[in-house]
Structure 1
Amino acid sequence: MNKTISINLGGFFFHIDEDAYQKLSRYFDAVKRSLAPDGREEIMKDIESRIAELFQERIKNDKQVIGLIEIDAVIGIMGQPEDYKIDDEKTSYQSNTSTSSSSNYYYPSKRLFRDKENGMLGGVMAGLGHYLGIDALWLRIIMVILFFGFGTGLFVYIVLWVLVPEAITTTQKLEMRGEPINISNIERKVKEGIDDISSKISNIDHQKIASTAKSGAEKIGSTFEEIFKTIFKIFAIFVGAIIVLVASFSLLGFIITGIVMMFSSTMPDNYILNNIQTPIGLETPLWVQGILVILVFGIPFFFLLLLGLKLLVNNLKSIGNIATYTLIALWVIALGIAISLGINEATQMAYEGKVVQKEEIILTPNDTLNIKFKNNDFYSKNSYHETDFKLTQDENKNEIIYSNNVTIEIMETDEMVPYIQVEKLARGKSAAEANKRAEKIKYGYKIEGNTLILDNYLISAIENKFRGQEVALYLYLPKGTLFKTNKNFDHFDRSDNDFFNLHYSSSDYIYRVDKEKVKCLNCPLSENEYGDIENNEMVNDSTSTIIYDENGVLIKKEIKEVKEEVQNVKIEIDTKKETKTK
Structure 2
Amino acid sequence: MKKVININFQGRIIPIEESAYDTLQQYIDSLRLYFAHEEGRDEIINDIEGRIAELFAELLQKGNTCITDEAVEGVISSMGRPQDFDAEGINSGEQTASDNTAIPNAEHTSGNRLFRDENNKIIGGVCSGVANYLNIDPLIIRILAAVFIGVTFIPYLILWIAVPSSASKTIGATRKKLYRDPDDKIIAGVCSGLAKYFGINVWIPRVLFILPFISFAFRHWHWGLFDFPSFINISFSPGALVIYIILWIVLPEATTAAEKLELRGEKVDVESIKNTIKSDLEGFKDRAQKMKSDIKSRAEEIGKNVSDKGQEIGKDVGNIARKSGKGLGDVIVLLFKIFAYFIIGVVVFAIVVTLFALGIAFTGLMPIKDYILESGWQNLFAWGTLLFFIWVPVIGIVTYVIRKIANIKGNKNIIRYSFIALWIIGWVCFMGLIVSLRNDFKYRNNPIEQSVNIAQPKNGYLEIVRGSETKFYNNRHWFNLDPFNGVDADSVFVKNVNIRIIQATNDSFYATVVKLANGSSKINANINADAIPFQINQNGSTLQFNNGIAINPNNKFRNQHLIVTIAVPVGKKIKITAKNRYFDGADNVYIGFDDNWNWQWNDDAAYSWNYNTTYLMTKDGLKALDNDDATENDQPNQSQPQPSLKQQQKTNDSLNNSNKKDSGHYHYTPETPQKSKVTATSNDSSDMLQPNVTDLLRTRFAI
TM-score (norm 2): 0.36
Q: Which structure has more RCO (C-alpha within 8 Å, separation ≥ 6)?
A: 2
TM-score (norm 1): 0.42
Larger relative strand fraction: 1
Considering only CA atoms, is the larger Rg found in Structure 1 or Structure 2?
Answer: 1
